[in-house]
Amino acid sequence: MIDVDHFKRINDNYGHLKGDTVLSTIAQSLRENVREAVAISRLGGEELCLFLSICNDAKLELTCDYIRSYLVQMASEQISICT
């Protein structure tokens, strides 16, 4: 499960439609860059659930580390939220 930090600020400052766009952008980018991601769905406000095709703990840990690093990099490149 991925919980997007500070997501409420995006919704409060830019509106729910822009917040939905940000989550969709994150999900699409994960689909394109995490080959183990079988499915990605939104669970609630800022939570995404990833279903991964991994059958051992070592690979799971590596994949989670990659996803975490990838999302940090993505955030540093600042997803455009300009209205």
Which phi and psi (to 5°) does residue 35 adopt?
A: -65, -20
- Residues tagged active-site: 46
